[in-house]
Chain A
Amino acid sequence: MDPPSRCFHCGLPITPASAVRGQIAGGERHFCCHGCAAVCQAIHDAGLDGFYQRTPDGEVFGPPPQLPRQLEFYDLDEVQQEFGDISSDERELQLAVEGIHCAACVWLIENGLSAMPGVTDARVNLTGRRLRLRWDNGRLRLSRILRRLGELGYAAVPYDPGAAELGLQRRNRALLYRLAFAGFAAMNLMWISIALYAGADQGEFRTLFHWVGWLLATPTLLYAGGPFFAGAWRGLRQRHLDMDLPIAIGATITYAYSLVVTLTGQGDVYWDTLVNFLFVILLGRYLEAMSRRQAVSATQRLLDLQPRAATVLRDGEEALVPMRAVRPGDQLLIRPGERVPADGLVEQGSSAVDESLLTGESEPIMRGPGQPVVAGSLNGAGALRVRVTAVLRETQLGRILHLVEEAQASKAPIQSLADRVVPWFVGATLLLALATGLFWWRADAATAVLAATSVLIITCPCAFGLATPMAMAVAAGSAARHGILIKQGAALERLSSVTRVVFDKTGTLTRGQPRLVALMDARGLWRADETGEPLNASRQHWLTLAAALEQLSEHPLARALTAFAREQGLVDMNLTVADVRMEPGRGVVGRVDGQVLALGSAAWLQSLGIALHASLESPTDWPRATLLHLAVDGREVARLLLRDDLREDARAAVDALLAAGLQVSLLSGDRQTTASEIAKRLGGIEAIAEVLPEGKSAVIAGLRAAGQRVAMVGDGVNDAPALVRSDVGIALGSGTDVSMASADIVLTGNELVRVPQALALARRTLGIIRQNIGLSIAYNLVMVPLAMAALITPLVAAIAMPLSSLAVIGNSARIGRIPKLFKI
């Protein structure tokens, strides 16, 4: 029987190279990776095998997410008090959880945690991917619970209920209440209106119905209409006509007119028009708020998964403290693989440090005693003791963040299309109403007031007010399902008119991690990308040995080598590895299977007294690749080439953008030759190279000054200022939290092909918005002359208004399906 082709735990396809077999529950099961196997084992050990019966068939979810490091950090009281009440041992927290996808996860988490002694209550919120946890801090540490969640395949961290998301939720809730009240009033007023149209306006109940209308309309105007009055007042104070003003004026005049009619008993009331109008506009606002919340809460979740702590050495004792408590002059311990939390000078130890987050330079840099390290860089294989010179805002990273904040503050608020038209629309409406009033004034005052009011009511900006938010809400919802998070609707509008897309190179167009691309030995050259040629036995043997030697190293090159060996199925666990000595920046030497292996730079091998194999081909057509020499028992046998490769979909994304008629550039800190080579492989796009990190935003500003509309795609801290500076900033979800916070759009799946897709969606959405505005203008062109001719009765107004709104809503729903990938 063939082994199953899909992972038992996550349902992803299994590649033969990475397959893991596990004996679980007496049967053999196949997994795509060790992570899934470990999670499955943990689930079985907890007696929760029912999880697999509860997952929907064919449901695929990714391998378990990475746990944040330093979970003990969350045990500190001063940390927990940021998230909730810690006065007693009975504590309650809200956690943001990565990895929840269906009801089976809810069951697994709740049952898995409730079984822990000390957990009193665990309740998962599936919609918000959150967990409410109550536990007894005297019996159980929080980090223990978080680790247990990790074993079950979820990453969770506490999050702050007072954060932006909940503030937003409170505002949304207030909006929902207002919407509900307006809906209630609108429904009841319908009955009153029907009675009046059916003839009650001639009978004894006329006055009663008018007053009932007043009774319903008054609280609706004051309570549900509150935001519009506040907005109109704000707009007046800032000398800026926006949508709220005509809504407020129209509502007030309608109300005043109807009240006069009710008091004098002359004419028709417009209570129903008023209330329906408020209801429909509120509906538009609510939809807008919902779509925005969706995007914000998803990015918030991504940001919340980043811990903030440092290990401080005080009198030789290690202590984990929150970053805020670290002072310049403290001594920090930075373990291999940890992020450097503050700027400082190395006092002890040496290690290759990856500063790509700040500089975009993918090669790690050696740092030893007396040399500086910067916050945000990633420590390689060695432990470092660092004397802090600057913390938080004072660090280089903090200064970049400061730049970002400044750029954000100076960025003019985007005027959406509707916002630009609205002042004219409002002005025209007011003028027309005034003209109508003056014209009829000569006939008689009552007709004049009626006609002028009808103009104000019938030009109801309803359809206008709904045109943009409705389309944006549909677009944002559709985008979110495809891994595109739109943080603000207006970004979509700017994206539709972009003329140039600028990609950051390292980590965006490329993976940001080197891969093995070629191998040279006495028989010639083997290229990894030419899939046709299999590795022969001797090459397989060399690679197996090299991978065994490197398996303990954290260096990116070593990781690339072991990853390649795993892909090819060249992992031999039975090899004995001994006497391994790593020389940071040079190479590694050790005894594998009895043979002495050395792997490293040419100069280092020569210093060990190993002669280089003269006839081995030294490739010249691989710019910017790293060459490693492998020697066995003092003789060079092979050379390995490793390079940071393009993402698979980079070419497809660039092609689609070029096909859509956009200019595409690549922005990089690398040498011009390297950047040009990458640009050539992407179809000859423009390469802007040798740009210092702080120069990136200047490049974007320069492009914009030349009249281009620029979208920037990036992932690192050093891209953040450029993301803010561009017309539309697009960040990868795997990027740093800074870049995600600075961007307008986040691609959660890190797929570059989503960029042309977002563009297509943006163009389509804007088309729909234009149609919507056209519809509402057409409606106004028909109705306004009628109103000016004093031909509009309340009945006509009551029918025409909802119809115009419905047309807009129906039209917006057509966005629903995201356009095909390459059809732009």
Chain B
Amino acid sequence: MEVIYGLIPGMLLLGLAAVGVLFWAARSGQFDDLEGDGQRILLDDDIKPDDPRRFPGADVED
């Protein structure tokens, strides 16, 4: 059971590292715009009508 003498400090250090990462993330503004960044990832560029990648029949003109 002596392993506990090493494990516990190890656990604390890992935990502290995680807290440190959280602080860094908050400080560098990663939580400033949760909505926007979540949506931004889904915004892609427009596909031109003559682009070969375009699906046939994906015409969204109204």
Which A residues fall within an 8 A CB radius of B?
27, 50, 53-54, 102-103, 106-107, 124-128, 173, 176-177, 180-181, 184, 187-188, 191, 204-205, 208, 212, 215-216
**CB pair A106 B40 closer than 8 Å:** yes
CA distance A176 to B19 in the complex (A): 11
A176 to B43 Cα, complex, angstroms: 30
Contact check, A127 vs B35: say whether CB atoms are below 8 A apart. yes
Indicate if the CB atoms of A125 and B36 lie closer than 8 Å.
Answer: yes
- Do A127 and B33 touch (CB < 8 A)? yes
Please determine whether B12 and A106 come into contact, CB atoms closer than 8 angstroms: no
**In the complex, are the beta carbons of A53 and B19 less than 8 A apart?**
no
Cβ 8 A contact of A181, one of B1, B4, B19, B36: B19
B11 to chain A, nearest CB (A): 7
Contact B36–A103 (Cβ < 8 Å) = yes
Question: Are B23 and A177 within 8 A (Cβ)?
Answer: yes
Closest CB-CB distance, B61 to chain A, in whole Å? 8
Q: Of the candidates B8, B34, B46, B60, which one forms a contact with A127 in the assembled complex, judged by CB atoms under 8 Å apart? A: B34
Q: Does B19 contact A180, Cβ atoms closer than 8 Å?
A: yes
Contact with A along B20-56 (1 / 0, CB 8 A): 0011001000001111100110110010000000000
| Residue of A103, A181, A204, A208 touching B43 (CB-CB under 8 A) | A103
Bound-complex Cα distance A53 to B45 (A): 12
The answer to whether A53 touches B60, judged by C-beta atoms less than 8 angstroms apart, is: yes
CA of A126 to CA of B43 in the docked complex: distance in angstroms? Answer: 14
Check B39 against A188 for contact (C-beta < 8 Å). no
Query: Cβ of B40: which chain A residues have Cβ within 8 Å of it?
Result: 103, 106
Nearest chain A CB to B4 CB, angstrom units? 6
Min C-beta distance of A205 to chain B, whole Å: 6
CA distance A705 to B60 in the complex (A): 66
A107 touches B43 (CB 8 A): yes
Residues on the B chain within 8 Å of A177, using CB: 23, 26
Q: Which residue of the partner chain A has the closest CB to B40?
A: A106
Chain B residues lying within 8 Å of A127, measured Cβ to Cβ, are 32-36
Task: Please provide the 7 A-B residue pairs with the shortest distance between their CB atoms, ordered closest to farther.
Answer: A126-B36, A103-B39, A125-B33, A50-B46, A126-B35, A127-B33, A127-B35
Question: Looking at chain B's contact residues, is the secondary structure mostly helix, strand, loop, or mixed?
Answer: helix
Q: How far is the CB of A234 from chain B (nearest CB, A)?
A: 27
Chain A residue nearest to B42 in the complex (CB): A103
| B interface bracket (residues with beta carbon within 8 Å of A) | 20 to 34
| B8 cross-chain contacts in A, Cβ below 8 A | 208, 212
A residues less than 8 Å from B15 (CB atoms): 184, 187-188
Query: How far apart sit A204 and B1, CA to CA, in the bound complex (Å)?
Result: 10
A-B contact pairs, 11 of them (CB 8 A): A103-B40, A103-B43, A106-B43, A124-B36, A127-B35, A180-B22, A180-B23, A188-B11, A188-B12, A205-B1, A208-B5
CB-defined contacts of A125 to chain B, threshold 8 Å: 32-33, 36
**Alpha-carbon gap, A176 to B36, bound state (A):** 21
12 additional contacts, CB 8 Å, given A184-B16, A204-B1, A212-B12? A27-B62, A106-B36, A106-B43, A125-B33, A126-B35, A127-B33, A128-B32, A177-B26, A187-B15, A205-B4, A215-B12, A216-B12
B residues near A191, Cβ cutoff 8 Å: 11
Bound: A54/B11 CA distance, A: 46
Q: Which residues of B contact A27 (CB under 8 A)?
A: 62
Q: Which residues of A contact B22 (CB under 8 A)?
A: 180
Q: In whole angstroms, how far apart are the Cα atoms of A760 and B49 in the complex?
A: 54
Query: How distant is the Cα of A46 from the Cα of B39 in the complex, in angstroms?
Result: 22
The residues of A that contact B16 with a CB separation of less than 8 Å are 184
Residue of A nearest to B29 (CB): A125
Chain A residue with the shortest CB-CB distance to B37:
A126
**Within the assembled complex, what's the spacing in Å between the Cα atoms of A184 and B13?**
11
Contact of A184 among B19, B33, B39 (CB under 8 A): B19
Which A residue sits closest to B32, measured CB to CB?
A125
Q: How far is the CA of A94 from the CA of B32 in the complex (A)?
A: 13
> Which of A102, A128, A205, A216 touches B33 (beta carbons < 8 Å)?
A128
For A126, the chain B residues whose CB sits under 8 A away are: 33, 35-36, 39
Q: Which residues of A contact B19 (CB under 8 A)?
A: 180-181, 184
Nearest CB to that of A51 among chain B residues? B46
Query: Given the complex of chains A and B, what is the CA–CA distance between A267 and B52 in angstroms?
Result: 77
A-chain residues with CB within 8 Å of residue B42 when the two chains form the complex: 103
What's the Cα separation between A315 and B34 when bound, in Å? 53
Q: Which residues of B contact A205 (CB under 8 A)?
A: 1, 4
Nearest B residue to A212, CB-CB: B8
Residue of A nearest to B41 (CB): A103
Q: Which residues of A contact B39 (CB under 8 A)?
A: 102-103, 106, 126
Name the B residues within 8 Å of A173 (CB-CB): 26
Cα distance A107–B32 when bound, in Å? Answer: 18
Write the nearest CB–CB distance from A326 to chain B, whole angstroms. 37
Q: Which residues of B contact A215 (CB under 8 A)?
A: 12
- Asked if B11 contacts A208 (CB within 8 A), the reply is no
Q: Are A54 and B43 touching (Cβ within 8 A)?
A: yes
Q: List residues of chain B with CB within 8 A of the CB of A53.
A: 60
Q: Tell me which of B4, B12, B35 contacts A208 (CB under 8 A).
A: B4
Give CA–CA (A215, B8) in the complex, Å.
11
Which single residue of chain A is at the shortest CB-CB distance from B22?
A: A180
- Closest A residue to B5 using CB positions: A208
Complex: A701 Cα to B49 Cα, angstroms: 68
How far, in angstroms, from A311 to B62 measured CA to CA in the complex?
A: 47
A173 to B32, CA, bound (A): 11
Residues of chain A with a CB closer than 8 A to B34's CB: 127
A806 to chain B, nearest CB (A): 24
Question: How far does the alpha carbon of A334 sit from the alpha carbon of B49 in the complex, in Å?
Answer: 51
Closest residue of chain B to A169, judged by CB? B32
Contacts of B43 in A (CB 8 A): 54, 103, 106-107
Minimal beta-carbon separation of A30 from chain B (angstroms): 12
Smallest CB gap from B46: residue in A? A50
Instruction: Give complex CA distance A187, B39 in Å.
Output: 32
Beta-carbon contact of B26 and A176 below 8 Å: yes
Which residues of chain B come closer than 8 Å to A54, judged between CB atoms? 43
Give the complex CA separation of A216 and B16 in angstroms: 11
CA distance A54 to B47 in the complex (A): 13
A71 to B26, CA, bound (A): 35
Give the Cβ gap from A100 to chain B, nearest Cβ, in Å.
Answer: 9
Alpha-carbon distance A102/B8, docked complex (angstroms)? 47
Alpha-carbon distance between A707 and B5 when the two chains are bound, in angstroms? 68
Docked pose: A360 CA to B43 CA in angstroms: 48
Specify which chain B residues have a CB less than 8 angstroms from the CB of A106 in the assembled complex.
36, 39-40, 43
Closest to B4 in A: A205
Please report the C-alpha to C-alpha distance between residue A165 and residue B57 in the assembled complex, in whole angstroms.
Answer: 49
Give Cα distance in the complex from A585 to B28, angstroms: 60
Cα A204 to Cα B34 in complex, Å, equals 48
Q: Kindly state the separation between the CA atoms of A187 and B32 in the bound complex, as whole angstroms.
A: 26
Closest chain B residue, CB of each to CB of A183: B19
Q: State how many angstroms separate the Cβ of B40 from the closest Cβ of chain A.
A: 6
Chain A nearest CB, measured from B23 CB (Å): 6
Chain B residues whose CB sits within 8 angstroms of the CB of A102 once the complex forms: 39
In the assembled complex, the CB of B59 is this many whole angstroms from the nearest CB of chain A, namely 11
Q: Return A819 CB to nearest CB of chain B, in Å.
A: 27
CA distance A184 to B19 in the complex (A): 7
The CA-CA distance from A102 to B38 in the complex, in Å, is 11
List the A residue with the shortest CB-CB distance to B34. A127
**Smallest CB separation, B9 vs chain A (Å):** 8
A452 vs B52: C-alpha distance when bound (angstroms): 79
